[in-house]
Structure 1
Amino acid sequence: MSTPVRVRFAPSPTGYLHLGSARAALFNWLAARHMGGAFLLRIEDTDTDRSRPELIEVIYDGLRWLGLDWDEEPIHQSDRNQAHQEAVESLLASGNAYWSAAVPESERENFGGRAYDPADRDRDLGPGEGRAVRFKVPDSGTTSWVDMIRGEISVDHEHIEDFVIRRADGSPTFFIANVTDDAFMNISHVIRGEDLINVTPKYLLLRDALGIEGPRPEFAHMPLIVNEARKKLSKRRDDVSLMDYHDR
Structure 2
Amino acid sequence: MSQQAPTPIRTRIAPSPTGFLHLGTARTALYSWAYARHYGGQFVLRVEDTDVARSTQDSVDQILAAMKWLGLDYDEGPIYQMQRLERYQAVVEQMIAAGTAYRCYCTPEELDAMKAAQEARGEKRRYDGTWRPEPGKQLPAVPEGVKPVVRFKNPVSGDVVWDDVVKGPISINNREIDDLIILRTDGVPTYNFAVVVDDWDMRISHVFRGDEHVNNTPWQINIFNALGAPLPRFGHMPVILGDDGQKLSKRRGAVSVTAYEEAGYLPEAMLNYLSRLGWSHGDDELFTREQLVSWFDGSHLNKSPAQWDPAKLEWVNSQYIKQADDGRLALLVAEQLAKRGVQADAARLSAMVALYKDRCATTVALADWLAMYFGPVVPNAEERAAHVTEAVGPALAALADKFAGIEWNKAAIQAAIKEVITAHGLKMPQLAIPVRVLVCGRAQTPSVDAVLELFSKEIVIERLRSL
TM-score (normalizing by structure 1): 0.91
Closer, same or farther in 2 for the Cα pair 1:44/1:223, shift >3 Å? same
SS in 1 for 2:55: coil
The answer on whether the counterparts of 2:208 and 2:234 sit within 8 Å (CA) in structure 1 is yes
> 1:177 maps to what in 2?
194
Deviation string for 1:156-201 (max 9, x for gaps)?
A: 0000121110112221111111111111111010011111011111
Matched, 1:61 2:65: yes
C-alpha separation between the residues in 1 aligned to 2:74 and 2:108? 44
Tell me, yes or no, if structure 1 residue 135 matches structure 2 residue 152.
yes
Unaligned runs of 5+ in 1: none
Question: Is the aligned partner of 1:110 residue 2:129?
Answer: no
Residue 79 of structure 1 is matched in structure 2 by: 83
Residues 147 and 236 of structure 1, relative CA distance in 2, 3 Å threshold: closer
1:243 aligns with 2:258: yes
Q: Are 1:38 and 2:55 matched, yes or no?
A: no
Q: How far did 1:240 drift?
A: 2.6
Q: Greater share of helix residues, 1 or 2? A: 2
8 Å contact 1:99–1:124 — kept in the other structure?
A: no
Distance 1:68 1:42 in 2: 13
Greater Cα offset, 123-132 or 152-161: 123-132
- In structure 2, distance between residues paired with 1:88 and 1:125: 22
1:209 aligns with 2:226: yes
The verdict on how the C-alpha distance between 1:54 and 1:220 changes in structure 2, with shifts beyond 3 A counting, is same
CA separation of 1:156/1:56 partners in 2, compared to 1, >3 Å: closer, same or farther?
A: same
Greater shift, 140-149 or 168-177, is seen at 168-177
Change (3 A) 1:70 1:205: same
Q: Does the C-alpha gap of structure 1 residues 76 and 139 become closer, same or farther in structure 2, counting only changes over 3 Å?
A: same
Which position in structure 2 is the counterpart of 1:148? 165
Question: Residue in 2 aligned with 1:161?
Answer: 178
Offset, 1:131? 2.6
Alignment of 1:85-100 (within 5 A): 85-100=89-104
| C-alpha distance in structure 2 between counterparts of 1:69 and 1:57, whole Å | 15
**Superposed displacement of residue 103, structure 1:** 4.5
Deviation per residue, 1:69-103 (Å, 9 max, x gap):
11123211111111100111111112211222144
Provide, for residues 33-59 of structure 1, a one-character-per-residue CA deviation record: whole Å limited to 9, x for no partner: 111111110111122211112322221
Q: Which runs of 5+ in 2 are unaligned?
A: 134-138, 264-467
**1:225: Cα distance to partner?**
0.6
Whose Rg is larger?
2
Which whole-Å CA distance do the structure 2 matches of 1:134 and 1:84 have between them?
13
**1:12 matched residue in structure 2:** 16
Match of 1:118, as an amino acid? Answer: G
Equivalents in 2 of 1:43, 1:224: separation in Å?
Answer: 21
2:197 aligned counterpart, secondary structure: helix
Deviations 1:109-154 (A, max 9, x none): 2244646442221326669624311111111111111111111111
Within the alignment, does 1:50 sit opposite 2:54 as a pair?
Answer: yes
Provide the rounded CA distance (Å) in 1 between the counterparts of 2:39 and 2:116.
Answer: 50
Residue aligned with 1:120, SS: coil
Give, in whole Å, the separation in 2 of the partners of 1:199 and 1:164.
13
Q: Distance in 2 between matches of 1:62 and 1:143?
A: 36
Contact 2:107 2:146 in 1 (8 A): no
Distance change (3 Å), C-alpha of 1:89 and 1:231: same
Q: Which one has the bigger strand percentage? A: 1
d(CA) in 1 for partners of 2:87 and 2:252?
A: 39
* Distance in 1 of aligned mates of 2:124 and 2:177: 14
Question: Over aligned residue pairs, what C-alpha RMSD do you find?
Answer: 2.1
Aligned partners of 2:9 and 2:205 also within 8 Å: yes
Query: Hey, what's the Cα distance between the residues in 2 that align with 1:136 and 1:243?
Result: 42
Q: 1:239 to 1:199 in 2, by over 3 A?
A: closer
Higher RCO, 1 vs 2 (CA within 8 Å, ≥6 residues apart): 1
Shift of 1:20: 0.9
Query: Which one of 207, 232, 235 corresponds to residue 190 of structure 1?
Result: 207
TM-aligned CA deviation for residue 211 of structure 1: 1.8
Residue type of the alignment partner of 2:54: R
Matching residue's letter, 1:9: I
**Secondary structure, in 3 states, of the residue corresponding to 2:30?**
helix
Looking at structure 2, the residues matched to 239 and 204 of structure 1 have their Cα atoms a distance apart, in angstroms, of: 31
